[in-house]
Amino acid sequence: MKAAVFKEVGQPLVVETVDDPTPEPGELVMKVGYCGICGTDLHATREGLTTACCGQILGHEYVGEIVEVGARAEGDWQVGDRVCAMPFIACGHCLPCAAGRFFECADKKVSGVDDQGGFAEYVTTGSRETLLLPDTLELRSAALVEPLAVGIHAVRVAGVRAGSRVLIIGAGPIGLTTALWCRFFGARDVVISELAPARAALAKQMGATAVLHPDVEEGAEGLLQQYVDAAGAPPDVIFECVGAPGLIQQCIEMASYGSSVVPVGVCEQPDAIMPFLGLVKELRIQFAMAYNKDDFETSVAMLAEGRIDVTPMITDTVSLDELPEAFEALRTPSDQCKVLTQL
Ligand SMILES: [Zn+2]
Ligand SMILES: [Zn+2]
């Protein structure tokens, strides 16, 4: 099959012919329809904590059609079923697996890390980790289920409820899906702070009740003042959806007594905070990562019923041959939000 392969840090992905995947008895093979490019994929091609190995096929936001069903696959899977899948294959026997919390499984294979990913014509998926797509759901929209699941998971662990006042730092794909779900669950103020004008405009489209333009000189104090001007009171929950050093500290400075700071952004560098500030405010700092099966199921159902819409987030679609160039272009800030590879 054709795939875009990571060779080494500093080199673009290379489209070449590789072996077709060979599924284990409990696995399925998906013919990939779309695979989104994620910030995590870009991280994996840089020097850092998550650098991929040579020969790795990245991509974990895939949707498509089943072309092969393993002999011991769980569930009534048929060739031709339209599906999306969580990007890992868990052991299926441990306690977290029994509860659908496959991400917590200590024995899982992760797409793009220790298993091949979706920037390819075919990818293997776990029969337990795969979800059937309703006929009403377009494959292109379903490609956004993974970032939607990250957003809903963050909103759930943050304890956002009807009437909450929320601040989201950053209007990248994860900031936007977090905003979408905050709005969905009835937050009264869904305020996003974003520097880039195109992303700020998209934030409004995706349900932000106000968009703030942070002033670097005025720092946390200035941003908090802007928030209070827009929402009438300080936030109950602050989501950090950028992952740059210094931002958790800025959230701690903005947070009011007893409120929550939820880091969702991926920061791979040491980052200093002043614990005393969080201490005197009795802050809850709750990191959020990935998702459970239920987060995927809810995202699929709400998309299929037309109760949420992610199409404004899809800013470009490229072919597998165009992927290496599009991938490199995402390293520098641009007006792009979610770029999909169409296979
Ligand atoms: Zn992703
Ligand atoms: Zn397990």
CA 72, CA 95: separation in Å to the nearest integer?
21
271 and 324 part of one domain: no
Give me the mean pLDDT over the 255-261 stretch. 98
Give me the mean pLDDT over the 330-338 stretch. 93
Q: What is the pTM of this model?
A: 0.96
34 and 139 part of one domain: yes
User: Is the pLDDT at 216 greater than 90, yes or no?
Assistant: no
156 and 273 part of one domain: yes
| pLDDT tens-place string over residues 10-59 | 999 999 999 999 899 999 999 999 999 999 999 999 988 888 988 999 99
Distance 95 CA to ligand 1 centre (A): 25
Cβ contacts of 298-303, under 8 Å, gap ≥ 24? 298/152, 299/145, 299/148, 299/149, 299/152, 300/84, 300/131, 300/133, 300/134, 300/137, 300/142, 300/145, 301/134, 302/184, 303/137, 303/141, 303/142, 303/144, 303/145, 303/148
Whether 93 sits among the annotated catalytic residues: the reply is no
Q: Per the structure block, which two tokens stand in for 335?
A: 């007006």
> Which residues, at least 6 apart from 222, have a Cβ–Cβ distance to it below 8 Å?
214, 215
CA 324, CA 57: separation in Å to the nearest integer?
12
Domain range holding 179?
A: 151-285
> pLDDT value at position 173?
97
Write the CATH number for 205: 3.40.50.720
176 and 240 part of one domain: yes
270 and 173 part of one domain: yes
Rounded to the nearest angstrom, the gap between the alpha carbon of residue 213 and the centroid of all alpha carbons in its chain is 23
User: Is the pLDDT at 113 greater than 90, yes or no?
Assistant: no
The one catalytic residue in 17, 22, 40, 317 is 40
> pLDDT value at position 112?
85
Whether 43 sits among the annotated catalytic residues: the reply is yes
312 SS3 class: helix
| pLDDT tens-place string over residues 171-214 | 999 999 999 999 999 999 999 999 999 999 999 999 999 999 99
Ligand nearest to the CA of 98: 2
Q: Where are the beta strands (DSSP E) in 176-229?
A: 189-193, 210-212
Q: Is 302 part of any domain?
A: no
Number of domains the chain contains: 2
> pLDDT value at position 209?
98
> pLDDT value at position 298?
98
Beta-strand relationship, 61-69 and 82-85: antiparallel
Distance 126 CA to ligand 2 centre (A): 12
Q: Is 304 part of any domain?
A: no
- In angstroms, what CA-CA distances link 275 with 222, 236, 246, 260, 281? 21, 19, 13, 14, 10
Write the CATH number for 60: 3.90.180.10
Distance 146 CA to ligand 2 centre (A): 20
> pLDDT value at position 317?
98
Give me the mean pLDDT over the 254-267 stretch. 97
Distance 59 CA to ligand 1 centre (A): 8
